[in-house]
Amino acid sequence: MKLIKKISDMRQWSKDKALRSYSIGLVPTMGALHKAHGMLIEKAVKENDFSVVSIFVNPSQFGPGEDYESYPRDLKSDLSLCRDLGVDAVFNPYPKEMILKDELTSIRVGEITSYMCGEFRPGHFEAVATVVAKLFNIVCPDRAYFGLKDYQQLRVIEKMNEDLKMGVDIVPLPTLREENGLAVSSRNSYLGERERKEAGFIYKALLRGKRMAEEGERDGSKISREVWEYIKKNIPKAEIDYAGIFHSGKLYPIKEIKDSFVIAAAVKMNRARLIDNIPVNLK
């Protein structure tokens, strides 16, 4: 397995594979790899001739007061996991090369970035789209793998890829959970044992909302209220950014439920901001 730091080296590696008509699968990550990353990586290794995992904690996607400095980092163990899973190259670029001081270009994906997390993290998705576009330009993957856990991020990247004709096959994979339902996340390391237990109620709240819809409730506001209150009741210290029902493609909050939608929540517990969602199709 190759560890590649320089953009020019990464480009050369990919060019060499493409010249010989090999396919390349990319898994973009911020490191601190866990079993959900492992799931994406395994799929990329299986579906492509060559696989690349990028590890880059992108400073520009963290807002002021967010956890950029304290975000968990463990390159040594990340490399060992990638090696074990049969990854061909890890791209771990230098921040100064990835983000130029005098940069003037960024990618803003319209309306869908103004709802859900976009409302609470201004500029976040612009930074995400821009860094993923850079990764696509450098690695030139045939396929790129993303988790449904970050539903809005996935939609933003799909839309960017479609609008800008990037031609990458975006492969979404389902959310991997702990036994109590808590979505696996690098940020779960911020939680104590008791908080981890309580955090399982976020998923239970979303399931409750799903059940209401399945049983015939069509008032989106009513379901959203129930999801919100269930979280508040079971995690009294939680600070809820949002909890409710959103359009599955356009991501705006839905008042009247039709066939497909997403139930999602963002909850702050201690230092962790946890996000989760369940895509629902009633058809």
Interacting residue ranges for ligand AMP, rule: CB under 6 A: 29-30, 36-37, 40, 146-147, 149-150, 173, 175-176, 183-186
Least separation in angstroms between CB 19 and ligand AMP: 28
Which is closer to ligand AMP, CB of 161 or CB of 175?
A: 175
Least separation in angstroms between CB 130 and ligand AMP: 15
Least separation in angstroms between CB 127 and ligand AMP: 12
β-strand 239-247 against 260-269: which pairing, if any?
antiparallel
Question: Is 124 annotated as catalytic?
Answer: no
Which is closer to ligand AMP, CB of 73 or CB of 83?
A: 73
Which is closer to ligand AMP, CB of 43 or CB of 225?
A: 43
Beta carbons of 255 and 243 less than 8 angstroms apart: no
Q: What are phi and psi of 46, to 5 degrees?
A: -70, -40
> How far apart (Å, rounded) are the C-alpha atoms in residues 89 and 109?
29
> How far apart (Å, rounded) are the C-alpha atoms in residues 181 and 198?
10
Bridge partner residues of 177 (DSSP) = 183
Least separation in angstroms between CB 240 and ligand AMP: 20
Beta carbons of 172 and 148 less than 8 angstroms apart: yes
Which is closer to ligand AMP, CB of 172 or CB of 253?
A: 172
Q: Which of 34, 37, 124, 247 is catalytic?
A: 37
Beta carbons of 25 and 53 less than 8 angstroms apart: no
Active-site residues, by number, are 37
